[in-house]
Chains A and B, each alone.
Chain A
Amino acid sequence: MKLTKDQVKKVARLANLPLTSDEEDLPEGEAGKYSEQLSRVLEYIDQLNQVDTTGVEPTFNVSGESNIMREDTTVASLSQEEALSNAPQKKEGMFVTKGVFEE
């Protein structure tokens, strides 16, 4: 299963991955590094389609459990300092990230 350049671009955007310019600028039809790698992954996974799963229910959860719920009670949260301890940048008690355009 070969992926087109547009498909690779779309997957990269959805995964929030930057593409190198040589991947972006390739002429249509020519596969870049990502296209080849991704296609190989898909081909590998595609082998699963050889198994006949007629009449087999899909597995959504391997625990076999259901209705695992808890009472609506609270426990102490992390302190602000603890919560922000891994943040590369913080300001006024908040995480800072590069500006998201809104309005």
Chain B
Amino acid sequence: MTGKRTMNNYEPVIGLEVHVELNTKSKMFCRCSADYFGKEPNTHTCPVCLGLPGALPYINQSAIEDCIKIGLALNCSVSPISRFERKNYFYPDLSKGYQISQYRWPLCINGQLTLDNGQVIRINRVHQEEDTGKLFHQEGQTLIDFNRSGVPLVEIVTEPDFRDVEAVRDYAKKLQQLFRYLGVSNADMERGDMRLEANVSVRKVKSQKSKVKNTSQNLKVEEELPPYRVELKNINSFRFMVAAIEYEIKRQIEALEKGEKLSQETRGWNGDKKCTYVQRSKEEAHDYRYFPEPDLPELRIEESRVKSLESSMPELPWSKNKRFEEEFKLSTAQAKILTETEELADYFEGLVELGGKEGIDAVKIANYVINQKIGAGTSVEEVLGKIKAKGEGVIGDERELEKLAQEAISENEKAVADYKSGKEAALQVLIGGVMRLSKGKADTSKLKPILEKLLKVVT
């Protein structure tokens, strides 16, 4: 692990803020289409998302439900009463002069996520807000496209629990996977569906013992946080995030070693020069003057609604991962690869179910799918056939297979009748029959057409 190397007895203290744009049909507070990407500028706006005087916001229920689902998946408690607030600042991407966000009464609080290294990252909050317009800087002018203004955005904020960059990467990847499993966002970093901000500082490690304790377990011992933190913004890929944080840790340690005092500032990442640069210093630090949004009545989230949302959620990636390990006796690494997308996980389970009937072991299937990089679209019969063919003494000879198939047909009158009456699935029974007769050695990829051919002449 990269973070375990000694850094002159310094350790990084990192917290992460992740923004994710929801893929709802309409915007957060108006009925403009939220499908803005690549569209003609300023064709998805109305008085609400343009911030025209007198326009009133109207909450999108699906967005609230998505936000709660994300919170539940991250083990948060859902606040019985939640309120929106105005976050006031002047910047051209914000037409109203404030962003409707949440501050003192977020929808979800106090969650946690367990990383691959066993560390538990505490989630401070999961709250709902709206996206801003998009700016284009051109020859001393700034052009504004408000299509993105008002698109639902969920912000997920961790406590400063990360002690190494690898953990940050794992966390961010897990969130992306979660958004896709829940179907709440495409979470495409390049498109800006998902954006990362890291708060990075470093401190002297008090003793080797406490360091080990902190990196391997949940933070039981509260240590003093550094008196400053650097906010890294504008990171649009996992690779850049890792590079920016690593650069920043090195820069800060070097500065402290030289006796410099580090201060609160916002820095961006320059991908060409591979370094971070100051965007905003402490003197310009934000003062948002949050206050409750008077145009929006509060949300009262009933326990029954939380329960029904919870039951509508799919099996989460980490639960699936664990189940695959236990149920199919896969290694952690295998289970991780196969549960990377819900699509691949479902496909694998389909293979295992069918393969099981033909006596093909789940681990064998897992190995084949992973080694051959089999995609979820590939024909199940073909894959199982190939796995079989890899085994010893596979019967691939068509005449021999026909003989076996004929035998299976005469043994399984019911399956034949079912098939004749239109039950395609009955073919699996016959395939299973052939496999039994051949002691699992028949090449399944060739069986289907042979059986179909023979069944045509059966009366």
Determine how close the nearest CB of chain A comes to the CB of B33; give it in whole angstroms: 5
**Chain B residues within 8 Å of A69, by CB:** 58-61, 64
8 Å CB interface, B1-42 against A = 24-26, 31-33, 40-42
Interface centre among B91, B135, B142 (most CB of A within 10 A): B142
The answer, yes or no, to whether A88 is at the interface (CB within 8 Å) is no
A14 contacts B287, C-beta separation under 8 Å: yes
B31 contacts A73, C-beta separation under 8 Å: yes
Determine how close the nearest CB of chain B comes to the CB of A15; give it in whole angstroms: 8
Interface centre among A70, A77, A79 (most CB of B within 10 A): A77
With contact pairs A70-B58, A72-B25, A83-B50 given, residues A99 and B33 touching in the complex (Cβ less than 8 Å): no
Binds A, one of B290-298, B306-314, B428-436: B290-298
A97 contacts B59, C-beta separation under 8 Å: no
Contact with B along A60-86 (1 / 0, CB 8 A): 111111111111111101111001100
With contact pairs A69-B61, A80-B43, A83-B146 given, residues A74 and B25 touching in the complex (Cβ less than 8 Å): yes
| A70 CA to B145 CA, complexed, in Å | 26
The answer, yes or no, to whether B374 is at the interface (CB within 8 Å) is no
With contact pairs A77-B33, A84-B42 given, residues A97 and B141 touching in the complex (Cβ less than 8 Å): yes
The answer, yes or no, to whether B417 is at the interface (CB within 8 Å) is no
- Sort chain A's interface into a size bin: 35 or more
Determine how close the nearest CB of chain B comes to the CB of A100; give it in whole angstroms: 5
The answer, yes or no, to whether B261 is at the interface (CB within 8 Å) is no
With contact pairs A66-B299, A72-B63 given, residues A14 and B142 touching in the complex (Cβ less than 8 Å): no
User: How many B residues touch A, CB cutoff 8 Å?
Assistant: 50
A73 contacts B26, C-beta separation under 8 Å: yes
| A98 CA to B9 CA, complexed, in Å | 47
With contact pairs A14-B289, A66-B297, A66-B298 given, residues A80 and B141 touching in the complex (Cβ less than 8 Å): no
Q: A99 is contacted by which of B59, B137, B296 (Cβ under 8 Å)?
A: B137
Determine how close the nearest CB of chain A comes to the CB of B130; give it in whole angstroms: 14
Determine how close the nearest CB of chain A comes to the CB of B61; give it in whole angstroms: 4
B144 contacts A78, C-beta separation under 8 Å: no
A61 contacts B298, C-beta separation under 8 Å: yes
The answer, yes or no, to whether B45 is at the interface (CB within 8 Å) is yes
| A61 CA to B43 CA, complexed, in Å | 33
A95 contacts B144, C-beta separation under 8 Å: yes
A99 contacts B140, C-beta separation under 8 Å: yes
The answer, yes or no, to whether A91 is at the interface (CB within 8 Å) is yes
B91 contacts A100, C-beta separation under 8 Å: yes
Q: B42 is contacted by which of A60, A71, A95 (Cβ under 8 Å)?
A: A95
The answer, yes or no, to whether B122 is at the interface (CB within 8 Å) is no
A80 contacts B32, C-beta separation under 8 Å: no
B297 contacts A67, C-beta separation under 8 Å: yes
The answer, yes or no, to whether A30 is at the interface (CB within 8 Å) is no
The answer, yes or no, to whether B255 is at the interface (CB within 8 Å) is no
A72 contacts B144, C-beta separation under 8 Å: no
B92 contacts A97, C-beta separation under 8 Å: yes
B297 contacts A61, C-beta separation under 8 Å: yes
The answer, yes or no, to whether A19 is at the interface (CB within 8 Å) is no
Q: Which residue of A lies closest to B27 (CB)?
A: A74
Which residues in A have some Cβ–Cβ distance to B below 8 Å? 10, 14, 16, 60-75, 77-80, 83-84, 91-100, 102-103
Closest 6 pairs between A and B when the two form their complex, measured CB to CB = A72-B62, A69-B61, A94-B143, A65-B297, A95-B144, A93-B41
Q: List 19 A-B residue pairs with CB atoms under 8 Å apart, sorted by A's residue number.
A: A10-B287, A60-B83, A61-B294, A65-B297, A69-B59, A72-B24, A74-B32, A75-B32, A77-B43, A83-B42, A91-B143, A92-B143, A93-B145, A94-B144, A95-B143, A96-B141, A97-B92, A97-B141, A103-B270
Which residues in B have some Cβ–Cβ distance to A below 8 Å? 24-26, 31-33, 40-47, 50, 58-64, 83, 88, 90-92, 135-137, 140-146, 268, 270, 277, 279, 287, 289, 292, 294, 296-300
